[in-house]
Amino acid sequence: MATGATSTSSVSKGCFVIHPQKVSSSRKRKSEGKYVGFPRVPGESDEHCRARREIYTDTWSKVEELVSSLHTNLNDKVFGDLLEFINKSVSSNKRCRVKNEIPTGAFITGVNMPDHDAIFSQLQDNLLKITPYVSRLCSKSCPNIKLIVKEATSQIMETEYCVDKEVEPEFAKFNPRKGNITFGIFKQWYELREAGKGDEKRPVVFILEDFESFQPKALQDFVTICSLYVDKLPIVLLFGIATIPAVIHQLLPRSISSCLCIEKFHAQAAITYLLEVIDRIFISPEFAFKLGPKVFQYLYENFLFHDFSLQNFIFGLKFSMMDHFYGNPLSVLCSKSNIDAIDEFSHEQLEIVRKSSSFRRYAEQQDREELRLLLLDNEHTIKVISEKLEDMNSYHHHFFPVLRCLASLVAKLPGYPMGKKCRDVYEHCLKTSVKELDVYHQAMKMAVFLAKDELVPVLEKCVELLNSAIKKQEAICDDFDEYVQALKTALLKFEELSKQNASMTFATFTEASPKIVSSITNRFELQEKLKNAVYNRKKESPFEKTRESAISTLDKMFQKYLSCPAEQTLHEIFYYDQAETVKQRLSGHPRVAIQTALNNPRYYMNCSCCDIEPGSIQDTLPDISVAFKLHLECGRLINLYDWLQAFMTVTEPPAKAKKKAKNDEQQTLQARFIQAVSELQFLGFIKATKRKTDHVARLTWGSC
Amino acid sequence: MEVNDEVFDEIQDKVLFREKQISTLLNLFNRRNSCSCGSIFVYGHTATGKNYVLETIFEKLQLPSIFVNCVECFNARLMYEHILNQLQILQPDCEEDKEFVRCDNMNDFIRMMKKCLTIENFSEETLFIVVDKCERLRDMEVNLLPTFLRLNELTGCNICVVFISEIIFEKFRQGSGVREPFQMQFPDYSKSELLEIMCLDAPAEHPQAFYHGYCQLLLSVFYNVCRDLKELSYLARLNFPKYCEPITNGEADYSNVKKLWRNIEPHLRKAMSTVFLHEVSSSQWEQIQEGTHGIKGLSSYSTVELPFYSKYLLLAAYLASHNPAKTDRQFFCKTTAKKMTKRAKVAAKFGVKTSSQMKGPHQFVLDRLMAIFYSIVDEKVPASAVILTQLSSLVTLRFLSQVSANDQLDSPKYKCLVSLDLIKAIARQLEFDLGQYLYDFINQ
DSSP state of B47: T
Contact residues on chain B for A105, CB-CB shorter than 8 A: none
Name the helix (H) or strand (E) containing A283: none
Distance (Å, whole) CA A643 – CA A653? 18
Residue B235: domain span: 191-300
Q: What is the DSSP string of B83-137?
A: HHHHHHHHSTT--TTPPPP---SHHHHHHHHHIIIIITT--SPPEEEEEETGGGG
Distance (Å, whole) CA A304 – CA A278? 14
Which among A180, A308, A588 has the least Cβ separation from residue B384? A588
A88 part of a folded domain: no
* Closest approach of B376 to chain A, Cα-based (Å): 15
Across the range A293-314, mean pLDDT stands at: 89
State which residue of chain A sits closest to B99, comparing Cα positions.
Answer: A173
Q: Does A246 touch chain B (CB under 8 A)?
A: yes
Residues ≥6 apart with Cβ < 8 Å to A222:
A145, A148, A149, A152
Mutate to test the interface with B, among A142, A307, A592 (most CBs of B within 10 A): A307
Residues listed for chain A? 704
Of residues A28 and A614, which shows the higher confidence score? A614
Query: Looking at chain B from residue 64 to 93, which residues have their Cβ under 8 Å from any Cβ of chain A?
Result: 69, 71-75, 78, 81-82, 85
Instruction: Give yes or no: residues A603 and A570 share one domain.
Output: no
A642 part of a folded domain: yes
B442 part of a folded domain: no
Rounded to the nearest 10 degrees, the angle between the axes of helix A452-472 and helix A378-410 is 150
Which among A145, A249, A255 has the least Cβ separation from residue B46? A255
Across the range A255-269, mean pLDDT stands at: 82
Which pairs from A162-170 meet CB under 8 Å and 24+ separation? Answer: A169/B97, A170/B97
Domain boundary among B185, B212, B239: B185
Of residues B271 and A324, which shows the higher confidence score? A324
- Order of strands, sheet of A134-137, starting from the edge strand that comes earlier in the sequence: A134-137, A204-208, A235-241, A102-108, A260-266
Residues ≥6 apart with Cβ < 8 Å to B371:
B328, B332
Instruction: Give yes or no: residues B339 and B248 share one domain.
Output: no
Contact residues on chain A for B280, CB-CB shorter than 8 A: 262-264
Burial B113-145, CB ≥16 within 10 A → b, else e: beebbeeeebeebbbbbbbbbbebbbebeeebb
Record: contact B281-A213, CB cut-off 8 A: no
Contact residues on chain A for B309, CB-CB shorter than 8 A: 305-306
Record: contact A245-B298, CB cut-off 8 A: yes
Contact residues on chain A for B306, CB-CB shorter than 8 A: 111, 308
Instruction: Give yes or no: residues A353 and A475 share one domain.
Output: yes
**Angle at the Cα of A396 from the Cα atoms of A394 and A400, rounded to 5 degrees:** 125
pLDDT at B314: 93
Distance (Å, whole) CA A57 – CA A70? 20
pLDDT band at A459; cut points 50, 70, 90: confident
Which among B71, B228, B385 has the least Cβ separation from residue A588? B385
Q: Does A101 touch chain B (CB under 8 A)?
A: yes
Distance (Å, whole) CA B107 – CA A674? 61
Instruction: Give yes or no: residues B164 and B264 share one domain.
Output: no
Q: What is the mean pLDDT of chain A?
A: 81
Q: How many domains does chain B have?
A: 3
Instruction: Give yes or no: residues A537 and A455 share one domain.
Output: yes
**pLDDT digit string (tens) for A332-375?**
888 777 777 777 788 888 888 888 888 888 888 888 888 888 88
Of residues A138 and A45, which shows the higher confidence score? A138
A67 part of a folded domain: no
| CA atoms within 13 A of residue A405's CA, in its CB half-sphere | 32
pLDDT at B93: 67
ipTM greater than 0.85:
yes
pTM: 0.80
A519 part of a folded domain: no
- CATH number for the domain including A600? 1.10.10
Domain boundary among B158, B185, B212: B185
Instruction: Give yes or no: residues B175 and B71 share one domain.
Output: yes
Domain boundary among A230, A249, A268: A268
* Closest approach of A268 to chain B, Cα-based (Å): 13
pLDDT at B312: 92
Record: contact A247-B237, CB cut-off 8 A: no
* Closest approach of A112 to chain B, Cα-based (Å): 9
DSSP state of A243: S
A45 part of a folded domain: no
Q: Does A231 touch chain B (CB under 8 A)?
A: no
Q: How many domains does chain A have?
A: 3
- CATH number for the domain including B158? 3.40.50.300
Burial of B362 (0-12, 13-18, 19+ CB in 10 A): middle
Instruction: Give yes or no: residues B18 and B108 share one domain.
Output: yes
Instruction: Give yes or no: residues A442 and A493 share one domain.
Output: yes
Distance (Å, whole) CA A704 – CA A445? 50
Which among A170, A185, A304 has the least Cβ separation from residue B308? A304
3-state secondary structure A305-319: HHHCCHHHHHHHHHH
Which among B102, B304, B387 has the least Cβ separation from residue A243? B304
Contact residues on chain B for A110, CB-CB shorter than 8 A: 305
Record: contact A113-B69, CB cut-off 8 A: no
* Closest approach of B125 to chain A, Cα-based (Å): 25
Residue A488: domain span: 274-502+524-576
| CA atoms within 13 A of residue B86's CA, in its CB half-sphere | 17
* R_g of chain A computed on alpha carbons: 36
Residues of chain B with pLDDT under 70: 1-4, 93-97, 119-123, 274-303, 334-356, 443-444
- CATH number for the domain including A208? 3.40.50
Mutate to test the interface with A, among B286, B386, B421 (most CBs of A within 10 A): B386
pLDDT at A17: 63
Distance (Å, whole) CA B166 – CA B186? 10
Domain boundary among B169, B185, B201: B185
* Closest approach of B243 to chain A, Cα-based (Å): 19
Of residues B249 and A15, which shows the higher confidence score? B249
* Closest approach of B443 to chain A, Cα-based (Å): 31
**Residue B259 amino acid letter:** K
Contact residues on chain A for B167, CB-CB shorter than 8 A: none
CB atoms within 10 A of CB B1: 11
**pLDDT digit string (tens) for A47-88?**
788 888 888 888 899 999 998 888 888 888 888 888 988 888
Instruction: Give yes or no: residues B259 and B352 share one domain.
Output: no
Instruction: Give yes or no: residues A285 and A305 share one domain.
Output: yes
B219 part of a folded domain: yes
* R_g of chain B computed on alpha carbons: 31
Q: Where in A501-550 does DSSP place strands (E)?
A: none
Domain boundary among A268, A296, A313: A268
Q: Does A701 touch chain B (CB under 8 A)?
A: no
A24 part of a folded domain: no
B443 part of a folded domain: no
Contact between A582 and A606 under an 8 Å Cβ cutoff? The reply is: no
Instruction: Give yes or no: residues A491 and A441 share one domain.
Output: yes
Instruction: Give yes or no: residues B274 and B321 share one domain.
Output: no
* Closest approach of B255 to chain A, Cα-based (Å): 29
Instruction: Give yes or no: residues A255 and A290 share one domain.
Output: no
Instruction: Give yes or no: residues A650 and A530 share one domain.
Output: no
Instruction: Give yes or no: residues B253 and B363 share one domain.
Output: no
Instruction: Give yes or no: residues A223 and A163 share one domain.
Output: yes
Strands A695-698 and A686-688: antiparallel
Which among B383, B390, B397 has the least Cβ separation from residue A242? B397
Instruction: Using DSSP, state whether A459 is helix, strand or coil.
Output: helix
A184 part of a folded domain: yes
Instruction: Give yes or no: residues B86 and B203 share one domain.
Output: no
Q: What is the DSSP string of B194-222?
A: HHHHHGGG--TTS-HHHHHHHHHHHHHHH
Domain boundary among A551, A576, A601: A576
CB atoms within 10 A of CB A184: 21
Instruction: Give yes or no: residues A560 and A654 share one domain.
Output: no
Q: Does B136 touch chain A (CB under 8 A)?
A: no
Q: Does A218 touch chain B (CB under 8 A)?
A: no
Instruction: Give yes or no: residues B342 and B239 share one domain.
Output: no
**Angle at the Cα of A470 from the Cα atoms of A469 and A476, rounded to 5 degrees:** 100
Contact between B29 and B160 under an 8 Å Cβ cutoff? The reply is: yes
Instruction: Give yes or no: residues A535 and A623 share one domain.
Output: no
pLDDT band at A238; cut points 50, 70, 90: very high
Instruction: Give yes or no: residues A110 and A151 share one domain.
Output: yes
